Amino acid sequence: MSQEDLKMLCEVMKMLYLRGLISSTGGNASIRLDDNTIAVTPRGFIEYPKYMLKPEHISIVDMNGNHIRGWRPTTEVKLHLAVYRVCKDCRAIIHTHPLILPFLPPNTEIPIDTELKYFLEPKICWVEELRPRTEDLAQATASKVKEGCNIIILQNHGLVTTGRTLMEAVERTEAVDLASKRLVIMKLLSMQTH
């Protein structure tokens, strides 16, 4: 396990907060350390916001969900583990709560710009509204990843992206969030011209 990996996880959480993609207590991310362990952000609590995480706070858990060290893992740890179990190429997972994306009608066509489309190879899928932190949500998300999806929109809840690296998952998160904002602006502009 590299200390640099844990530092990068903390930096990513700070960046996601500054971009308005997570709140001080909500949202989570993880990286696969080896075949049997992952590093995942801890559960949020008011006294210590996600944008202030340090490497020693990051939770290390095995693939059975046993807590090895660090702070207690995010309450969405089931989702992370379920995805890693079905996707050997996934080295990172990010779960955010964007402003617009989860509230678009299911299966809305989202216009990701051409350069990112070819670079990030996005495959967007939707998961129906399910209770957060449950095995049902974890398995529904994992089943979409198993189908090859790397951007999963959780209806009325949030967004899950995967990547071969943490930064690839970040890029997918930012690209689809930007695309959803662009979509709303385009719709508003088209309403003004009618």
The beta-strand segments (E) located in 33-81 are 37-40, 59-62, 67-69
Tens of pLDDT along 136-176?
999 999 999 999 999 999 999 999 999 999 999 999 999 99
Structural domain range at position 8: 3-192
pLDDT of residue 116: 77
| pTM metric for this prediction | 0.95
What single DSSP character describes residue 163? Answer: E
Q: How far apart are CA 152 and CA 112, in angstroms?
A: 14
Residue 169's closest CA among 132, 99, 120? 120
pLDDT at 23 over 70: yes
Q: How far apart are CA 156 and CA 97, in angstroms?
A: 9
Catalytic-labelled residue, pool 76, 128, 135, 171: 76
Residue 56 designated active-site:
no
H or E stretch including 4?
A: helix 3-18
Tens of pLDDT along 108-145?
989 888 777 888 889 999 999 999 999 999 999 999 99
Half-sphere exposure of 90 (CA within 13 A, CB side): 26
CATH code of 170's domain: 3.40.225.10
Q: Into how many domains does the chain fold?
A: 1
H or E stretch including 79?
A: helix 77-86
Calculate the CA dihedral of residues 142, 146, 148, 154 and round it to 10 degrees: -20
Between residues 89 and 48, the one the model is more confident about: 89
Residue with tokens 């080896």: 34
Q: Rounded to the nearest 5°, which phi and psi values hold at 75?
A: -70, -10
From the CB of residue 122, how many other CB atoms can be counted at a distance below 10 Å?
19
Between residues 2 and 153, the one the model is more confident about: 153
Between residues 58 and 115, the one the model is more confident about: 58
pLDDT exceeding 90 applies to what percent of the chain? 82
pLDDT of residue 1: 60
